[in-house]
Structure 1
């Protein structure tokens, strides 16, 4: 597979972030390879729980669209903000650092969570999308009663 130049990688990543931020799911999907390596840093036992169904590994372009659709369905519209602090690029790899701010639709709890994305761009599309986020903060926002934790 041809390796992306740093300029191409940066351009694809910036366009991806813009489309995600605009909520343009179909155009976002265009930037993912038909088959992609999509992983989250959540504990395997907690993937796809009833309250956080979007949190699971993915493998296709259609899965990517489903992820963003599920995220939207489980958060309060208009209370979403993502701050991108830095985009680091090395050849076909990019790391995006930032913070998300959202409100869980199920509980009405607002939360802020730091994140890092490790993306790989090949032939102008994203082939890897690995998400590292503050999963504890996200889980607590969706819990029925966070005071009940041991």
Structure 2
């Protein structure tokens, strides 16, 4: 029997909080549409390498590995406010609370996660989050915002 969309989404959220990257990735189809609503020129920057589009189950595991590497363990929290389900589609609304490992700065970012579940596996993972909060947490000590391509930073506007 194929699990429902809600069951898969709830399992994913549980695994994100309690399991390793490989176990989380088991919920994804071999090929999935994984997108992040984040400025394209910032994808894969040295400061936030987990922020990039993905396409495979192995990529999903890499995402959760990269995410863990760049945040302080034990200083993590997620508040799920609502899970909305319509057939194969689900939207998870909430807020993450993390601490950037390189800077030690905590941050909060609201998010919406659009998932599509087909045949018991996630085939779409689209994230919409407060990218400014994340960028500021990982910004160099001079207060600049990390820029892709390494090295530089762009100063925030007053």
TMscore range, shorter length: over 0.9
Q: Which runs of 4+ in 1 moved over 6 A?
A: none
Q: Deviation string for 1:23-72 (max 9, x for gaps)?
A: 32222111000000000000100100010000000000000000000000
Pick one of 75, 79, 85 that aligns with 1:83.
79
Q: Tell me the matched-pair count.
A: 145
Residue 4 of structure 2 aligns to a residue whose secondary structure is helix
User: Equivalent of 1:146, from 132, 138, 143?
Assistant: 143
Provide the secondary structure at the position in 2 that maps to 1:114.
strand
Q: Deviations over 1:102-127 (max 9, x none)?
A: 00001000000000000000000000
SS in 1 for 2:6: helix
Alpha-carbon RMSD: 1.3
Tell me: higher relative CO, structure 1 or 2? Use CA pairs within 8 A at least 6 residues apart: 1
Q: Which of 41, 46, 49 in structure 2 is aligned with 1:53?
A: 49
Structure 2 counterparts to residues 14-53 of structure 1, below 5 A: 14-53=10-49
The SS at the match of 2:124 is: strand
Distance in 2 separating the partners of 1:59 and 1:25: 15
> Per residue, is there more helix in 1 or in 2?
1
Match of 1:136 in 2: 132
SS at match of 2:63: helix
Task: For structure 2, list consecutive stretches of 5 or more residues without a partner in the other structure.
Answer: 145-154
TM-score with structure 1 setting the length: 0.93
| Unaligned 5+ runs, structure 1 | none
